[in-house]
Amino acid sequence: MPVERAQLGSAPIPRRYLMCEPRHFEVRYAINPWMNPGTPVDPELARGQWQTLVETYRAHGHTVETVAPVAGLPDMVFAANAALVLDGKVFGSSFHAPERQPESAAYAAWFKEAGYDVHPAESVCEGEGDLVPAGRYVLAGTGFRTQRTAHREVQEFFGRPVISLDLVDPRFYHLDTALFFLGPEPGEDGGTGEGNIAYYPAAFSPGSREALRRLYPDAVIATEEDALAFGLNSVSDGRHVFVAPQALDLIDRLVHRGYVPVPVDLSEFRKAGGGIKCCTQEIRS
């Protein structure tokens, strides 16, 4: 049974995360359906929710490092979009929206100071927003932001098979709003197999849905309500799932599979189309 597999085989793996304080966070422009420049943001609430996420990660044994926010870059808090870091290598981002393009240099400077070489993307590519490492694969979204040509760049750079997935619902403009990786399944050697995912099928084209069904026949399926609550913009350490508390059905399904949901409310960031994963860049050695 899936519950037994999860309970017996999954264990939390200490992670290293990079995050950016929402000192300048606001909804100044609209580059996705969630954003309305007329929507007021509560800066104190946003900072408090972000700090709670940082403290929650640390309380569960994970390392959190921070990059300095830059004035005039309100979306810099969404650190996941800045790069994909895998096998100790950094594939930098090239943002679609002109408003976010300066973020690439700010994050690249942090990585270089930390001792990493940064490979700049030649095509539009928005980091972990559309690139999800999943065991032996990298799942890669396209349709609204990251270009399919970037998927080829990622495969050549990391030498890992990249599986392209077409997003078709503009509300789920990044892959990390419609899917997240739960972790390796029990019995897989060091996470080298396919592992398992949670996702919302209607966010994907028919062919992409079929590909996901074949790859992950035991996936956790989210409802539309879960997805709209940014429940799939979650972070898993293989045991704990840091998840939006509003995604009630998804939380129940995770518990049934033996995972431990850790609800963290980042509702203020939903005004800009972001959530837990959007604020979290993972540094994978």
Q: Which of 125, 174, 240, 279 is catalytic?
A: 174
Say which CATH topology domain 2-282 has: L-arginine/glycine Amidinotransferase; Chain A (3.75.10)
The string of pLDDT tens digits covering residues 95-131 is 999 999 999 999 999 999 999 999 999 999 999 999 9
Structure tokens at 216: 């992950």
Q: How confident is the model over 33-47, as pLDDT tens digits?
A: 999 998 999 999 999
Residue 193 has pLDDT above 80, yes or no: no
Kindly name the residue from 20, 125, 278, 279 that is annotated as catalytic.
278
Distance of CA 173 to the CA centre of its chain: 12
pLDDT > 60? residue 9: no
Active site residue 174: yes
Residue 278 appears among annotated catalytic residues: yes
Radius of gyration, alpha carbons of the chain? 17
Distance CA 165, CA 41 (A): 33
Residue 186, pLDDT score: 47
Confidence of residue 11 (pLDDT cuts 50, 70, 90): low
